[in-house]
């Protein structure tokens, strides 16, 4: 009898041992796999799409922001009548029937049909209750001021993997800060897919990118753009650009250039238009460069304002080249003040020769010529100055009056602003501060790049430039009652080894009010046809903008 009890006990023990072994197998060996399987059944993974940071002008208006749009996608395996559905969708989405049809015939579970669909269109399509069709919410870049400051802003395109990426301008330079973070959250759902518990997630505000607050003044930007656009048409120019900078801080208040493009529809424009010529195009500045050379010579006391030019009685010959004045008028014994007033090329050759190559290179370096300014925009270029041993006498001479040297508009504006700022050169900045999604702001600090000339030299140069405005070629269009320092420029354009005799780059650069400059402004017109001279084209535009800026700042005339 006892052996029966022992047999039953053994069977029970073996039975429970088997159960324990099986439990061990499912809980220890297969545990992780089952856990994942369970999660896929009770949890739904949700992607919080990143919202790109905004770009705001100094008054807090967002010139680049985001709007909600949808990507329409389909599951071809769930679509029965492909022909009919393709017909309906191509009409609703306004895309070709062939593209919809080809996507729906793919052997995939998910195919994109169209992105950038607005919410009203999405609701319209949803009402059709097409099985297998879905919508993915996305954020799309939107520019409320349309193409205002398009070169400054840049645009948002796509990478090879379909992610948003900023190109050119601020969108390109600050892309990493503007991008948000994609966040994955988990939602617990029931057997029918409905949520049971709220999402297990962090604060969704963290998916937003940082916001840029600019130094750009929206009103000034608008004024500059409108007047430049009208001027290009009026003077028959092929393009133009203008920029406004605050000399004491380096803050960029406006930059505009045409021809331009719309960042909303950048694909509809030629890629050559994407780059900002204000920072990316080199040109020979012509007479607007003369104050830089003259300041350098004055600073070293190699010339004084009343010193007379000893070679200005006629054209001068250097290295086989004959250098003339722009109007073939010569003033014997002209002094330095009048060299700038009459924009005398021969006079500037005299100044450049007194300066010498080594001093010229040294001072051009101080003024930032030949190196990038460091402006916070993507795409800045610069052409380095040649080494001293590569300079011929004719190079020194021509650089004296702004030919044979290439600069960008921002370099020249920065150099001129240094004269306005008592000789101190500031780094130009478009962005004032960066605001993180949680509201904390980081101010971009002002940066001094160095002293160009002494404050006394800067003051003397300012008076020379005021005299040039009051009594020079552009005096007919100056603003009476205001002391404005400025210089005209009519630069020849190099073309295949010589200069084009019929086309010029007409410009005017200056700052106002001369005694306490609030702004420095440069206007450049590319190949104007009504007149080739800066005094007759760019100068009136400069003073037209300057008048509005002085009114905007509430600066009353000083009586001069």
Partner 1 sequence: MKKHQILIALIILSVMGLIVTRTAVLNNLSIAGLKLGKIQTELDSVRLENSRLKKELLKLSSLNYISSQASLLGFVEGKGNFTFNKPIPLAIKQ
Q: Establish if 183 lies at the interface with partner 1 (CB under 8 A).
A: no
Q: C-beta of 61: minimal distance to partner 1 in Å?
A: 7
Residue 504, H or E segment: strand 498-512
- Pick from 198, 306, 328, 389: which binds partner 1 (CB under 8 A)? 198
Instruction: Tell me whether residue 119 or residue 314 sits nearer to partner 1 (CB atom).
Output: 119
Per-residue exposure over 275-301, b if at least 16 CB sit within 10 Å of its own CB, e if not: bbbbbbbebbbbbbbbbbbbbbbbbbe
Instruction: Tell me whether residue 194 or residue 502 sits nearer to partner 1 (CB atom).
Output: 194
Which string of x and - marks every residue 520-559 that binds partner 1 (by CB under 8 A)? ---------------------------x---x----xxxx
Task: Tell me the C-alpha distance between 445 and 468, whole Å.
Answer: 35
Q: What is the token pair recorded at 19?
A: 């159960």
Give burial (CB, 10 Å; 0-12/13-18/19+) of 333: exposed
Alpha helix segments (H runs only) across 345-408: 345-366, 393-400
Instruction: Tell me whether residue 34 or residue 146 sits nearer to partner 1 (CB atom).
Output: 146
Q: Establish if 271 lies at the interface with partner 1 (CB under 8 A).
A: no
Instruction: Tell me whether residue 308 or residue 547 sits nearer to partner 1 (CB atom).
Output: 547
Which string of x and - marks every residue 388-427 that binds partner 1 (by CB under 8 A)? ----------------------------------------
Task: Tell me the C-alpha distance between 413 and 380, whole Å.
Answer: 14
Which string of x and - marks every residue 49-68 that binds partner 1 (by CB under 8 A)? ------------xx--x-xx
Q: Establish if 265 lies at the interface with partner 1 (CB under 8 A).
A: no
Q: Establish if 87 lies at the interface with partner 1 (CB under 8 A).
A: no
Instruction: Tell me whether residue 204 or residue 327 sits nearer to partner 1 (CB atom).
Output: 204
CB of 304 closer than 8 Å to CB of 336: yes
End-to-end alpha-carbon separation of the chain, Å?
132
Residue 175, H or E segment: helix 175-178
290-299 vs 455-471: helix crossing angle, rounded to 10: 140
Instruction: Tell me whether residue 148 or residue 418 sits nearer to partner 1 (CB atom).
Output: 148
Instruction: Tell me whether residue 198 or residue 306 sits nearer to partner 1 (CB atom).
Output: 198
Q: Establish if 195 lies at the interface with partner 1 (CB under 8 A).
A: yes
- What phi, psi does 64 have (nearest 5°)? -140, 120
Angle CA 414–417–420, to nearest 5: 165
Instruction: Tell me whether residue 190 or residue 440 sits nearer to partner 1 (CB atom).
Output: 190
Which string of x and - marks every residue 120-149 that binds partner 1 (by CB under 8 A)? ----------------------x-xxx-x-
Alpha helix segments (H runs only) across 179-310: 218-234, 277-280, 290-299
Picking from 278, 2, 244, the residue whose alpha carbon sits closest to that of residue 152 is 278
Per CB under 8 A, residues contacting partner 1 are: 61-62, 65, 67-68, 119, 142, 144-146, 148, 189-190, 194-198, 218-219, 222, 226, 547, 551, 556-559
């Amino acid at each position: 009898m006892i052996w029966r009890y022992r047999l039953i006990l053994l069977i029970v023990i073996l039975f429970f041992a088997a159960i324990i072994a099986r439990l061990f197998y499912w809980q220890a060996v297969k545990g992780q796999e089952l856990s994942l399987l369970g999660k896929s059944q009770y949890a739904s993974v949700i992607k919080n799409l990143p919202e790109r940071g905004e770009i705001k002008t100094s008054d807090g208006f967002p010139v680049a922001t985001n709007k909600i749009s949808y990507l329409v996608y389909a599951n071809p395996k769930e679509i029965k009548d492909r022909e009919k559905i393709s017909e309906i969708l191509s009409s609703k989405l306004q895309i070709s029937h062939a593209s919809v049809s080809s996507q729906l015939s793919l052997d995939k579970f998910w195919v994109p049909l169209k992105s950038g669909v607005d919410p009203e269109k999405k609701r319209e399509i949803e009402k059709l209750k097409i099985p297998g069709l879905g919508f993915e919410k996305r954020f799309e870049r939107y520019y409320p001021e349309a193409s205002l400051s398009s070169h400054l802003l840049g645009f948002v395109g796509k990478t090879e993997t379909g992610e948003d990426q900023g190109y050119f301008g601020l969108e390109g330079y600050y892309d990493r800060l503007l991008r948000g973070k994609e966040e994955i959250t988990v939602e617990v759902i029931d057997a029918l897919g409905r949520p049971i518990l709220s999402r297990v997630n962090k604060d969704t505000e963290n998916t937003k990118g940082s916001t840029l607050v600019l130094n750009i003044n929206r009103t000034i930007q608008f004024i500059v753009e409108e007047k430049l656009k009208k001027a290009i048409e009026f003077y028959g120019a092929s393009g133009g650009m203008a920029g406004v900078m605050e000399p004491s801080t380096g803050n960029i208040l406006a930059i505009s250039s045409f021809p331009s493009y719309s960042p909303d529809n950048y694909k509809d424009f030629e890629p050559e238009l994407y780059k900002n010529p204000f920072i990316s195009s080199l040109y020979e500045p012509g007479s607007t460069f003369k104050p830089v050379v003259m300041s350098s010579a004055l600073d070293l006391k190699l010339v004084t304002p009343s010193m007379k030019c000893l070679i200005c009685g006629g054209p001068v010959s250097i290295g086989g080249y004959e250098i003339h004045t722009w109007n073939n008028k010569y003033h014997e014994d002209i002094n330095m003040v009048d060299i700038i007033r009459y924009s005398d090329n021969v006079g500037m050759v005299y100044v450049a020769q007194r300066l010498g190559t080594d001093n010229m290179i040294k001072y051009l370096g101080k003024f930032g010529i030949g190196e990038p300014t460091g402006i916070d925009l993507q795409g800045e270029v610069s052409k380095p100055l040649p080494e001293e041993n590569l300079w011929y006498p004719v190079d020194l001479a021509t650089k004296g009056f702004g030919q044979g040297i290439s600069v960008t508009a921002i370099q020249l504006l920065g150099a001129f602003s240094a004269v306005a700022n008592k000789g101190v050169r500031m780094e130009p900045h478009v962005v004032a501060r960066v605001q993180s999604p949680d509201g904390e702001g980081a101010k971009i600090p002002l940066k001094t790049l160095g002293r160009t000339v002494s404050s006394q030299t800067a003051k003397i140069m300012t008076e020379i430039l005021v005299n040039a405005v009051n009594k020079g070629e552009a005096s007919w269009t100056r603003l009476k009652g205001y002391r404005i320092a400025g210089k005209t420029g009519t630069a020849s354009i190099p073309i295949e080894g010589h200069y084009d005799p019929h086309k010029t780059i007409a410009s005017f650069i200056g700052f106002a009010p001369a005694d306490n400059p609030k702004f420095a402004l440069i206007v450049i017109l590319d190949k104007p046809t009504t007149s080739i001279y800066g005094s007759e084209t760019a100068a009136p535009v400069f003073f037209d903008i300057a008048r509005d800026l002085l009114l905007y700042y509430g600066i009353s005339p000083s009586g001069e």
